[in-house]
Structures are given as structure tokens and as C-alpha cells.
């Protein structure tokens, strides 16, 4: 069970995830590896079968010296798809030979392509889709049905209906979404301390980093203030009572 969300910004990309995983059928444990930073400027986040996710991440790390030399988004997308599918195909063959259903995994990859921040989504069969500034966000995992409407609300109210101008605004939106879904998830298995990574241009070079609890704490305070403002609005009677 998982919720992973990615937001493309004018100045970078932010990817966040919960930290609960399901072992066997009903045992939940906290993990910290749903998001991986590779080569200092690539964020990889997987939802689905944990074993296949690890194989995909390892395969991408092993091929990254080739992928990073590519200059167009289409070339990068195809190279990542081929690397991922090599592991997906092997896993499917093993599952068929054992009479089992094939493992499935969805993946988000954030990276710079030709000095431009890029957010890519890969389906369970490694088909790719670039998340553009008009869409701005994507979520995957069991919590996505609850996350998407909330992210759409944040996009409309806080981001002006398009990609946010900064990774700071994106982090605020993703953290608020993770907290919201963790609170109301109705048994989807989404929870645990949120993990958030940001890709940003620092001094002319792109770097990815996991945000510390100290930095997330600032956003938690801002979220609490936003929720208090809404509660106060309701406490004052909300809209005019004249109708």
C-alpha cells in the first residue's frame, strides 16, 4: 500500500511518499526506500511489488552513465523504458513458470534533461508519460484516488491552476496531501512519516536531496495555520447567510 506524488515546478521537481509498506497480506511496517536518489540529480520512486521495485532501481543505476549522455526527452524516456522492461519481462517469465500472476510496479522518475526539470511516469509495462506544466502533478499507489482531488484543489487555489512557481510551494502541497490522505485513508494502508525529495538547480547544477525533518517542520506549521484559517472561516459562519 502506497501513496507517491510528484509535482513539476517552474524551478524543479518535488516527489513525496508515505512510509508504510504491507508485508504478506495484512502486516504493515515502516520503510524509507520508496524514494531513491541516484547519481545526485535523479529521483526514483516506485509503487507496487517491493522486489521488482528494487530490481528496477538497481537496473536504472547500472545504466545511468549511458542514459545521462542523452540529450532529448524522448531518448531518455525510451532508454529508461528499455532498462525497466528488461527487469519487468524477466519477472513476468519467472511468474508464468511458477503459475503466479506477474508482479506490477509503477514508477516516477525526476531528472534534468537538457538543463530542464523533467517528471516522467512509467506504467507497469514501462510505457512512459511526461508530466507537463499544465497538468503539474501525478500520484500513484493505493492512495491516489484520495490524493488526486486534494492535489487538484491545491493546484486551483494555491498554484493558480498550473505548475507551482517553486519547489517550496510544491513541497507544501505534497506534504499537506500526504498528511490528509494518511488521516482519512479508510484502510488504504497509507501512513507513517512522509518522505519528500526535491530536484532543484543550485549554483548552476541540478541536485536532488531528501528534505530534512527540520525543513518539513516549517511546512507542517504552515499547513496547521492554513487549516486553522479554514476552521475560523467556518466558525464565523462561512459565507453570507442571506440566501
Q: How does DSSP assign the chain, residue by residue?
A: ---EEEEE-SSEEEEEE--EEEETTTEEEE-S-SEEEETTTEEEEEEE-HHHHHHHHHHHHHHHHHHTT--SHHHHHHHHHHHHHHHHHHHHHHHHHTT-PPP-EEEEEEEEETTEEEEEEE-TT--EEE--TTT-EEEESTTHHHHHHHHHHHHHHHSTTS--SSHHHHHHHHHHHHHHHHHH-TTS---SS-EEEEEEEETTEEEEEEPPHHHHHHHHHHHHHHHHHHHHHHHTTSS-S--
More confident residue, 202 or 28: 202
More confident residue, 73 or 235: 73
pTM of the model: 0.91
pLDDT, tens only, 160-190: 999 999 999 999 999 999 999 999 876 667 8
pLDDT, tens only, 46-99: 998 888 999 999 999 999 989 988 989 999 999 999 999 999 999 999 999 999
Amino acid at each position: 500500500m502506497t501513496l507517491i506524488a510528484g509535482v513539476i515546478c517552474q524551478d524543479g521537481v518535488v516527489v513525496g511518499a508515505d512510509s508504510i509498506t504491507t508485508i504478506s497480506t495484512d502486516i504493515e511496517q515502516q520503510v524509507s526506500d520508496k524514494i531513491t536518489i541516484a547519481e545526485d540529480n535523479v529521483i526514483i520512486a516506485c509503487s507496487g511489488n517491493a522486489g521488482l521495485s528494487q530490481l528496477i532501481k538497481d537496473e536504472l543505476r547500472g545504466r545511468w552513465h549511458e542514459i545521462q549522455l542523452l540529450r532529448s526527452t524522448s531518448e531518455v524516456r525510451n532508454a529508461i523504458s528499455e532498462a525497466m522492461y528488461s527487469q519487468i519481462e524477466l519477472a513476468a517469465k519467472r511468474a508464468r513458470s511458477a503459475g503466479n500472476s506477474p508482479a506490477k510496479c509503477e514508477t516516477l522518475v525526476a531528472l534534468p534533461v537538457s538543463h530542464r526539470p523533467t517528471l516522467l511516469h512509467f506504467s507497469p509495462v514501462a510505457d512512459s508519460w511526461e508530466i507537463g506544466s499544465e497538468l503539474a502533478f501525478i500520484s500513484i499507489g493505493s492512495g491516489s484516488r484520495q490524493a488526486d482531488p486534494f492535489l487538484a484543489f491545491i493546484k486551483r487555489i494555491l498554484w493558480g491552476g498550473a505548475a507551482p512557481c517553486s519547489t517550496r510551494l510544491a513541497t507544501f502541497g505534497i506534504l499537506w496531501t500526504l498528511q490528509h490522505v494518511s488521516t482519512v485513508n479508510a484502510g488504504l494502508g497509507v501512513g507513517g512519516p512522509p518522505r519528500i525529495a526535491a530536484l532543484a538547480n543550485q549554483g548552476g547544477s541540478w541536485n536532488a536531496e531528501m528534505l530534512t525533518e527540520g525543513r518539513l517542520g516549517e511546512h507542517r506549521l504552515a499547513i496547521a495555520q492554513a487549516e486553522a484559517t479554514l476552521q475560523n472561516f467556518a466558525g464565523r459562519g462561512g459565507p453570507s447567510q442571506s440566501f
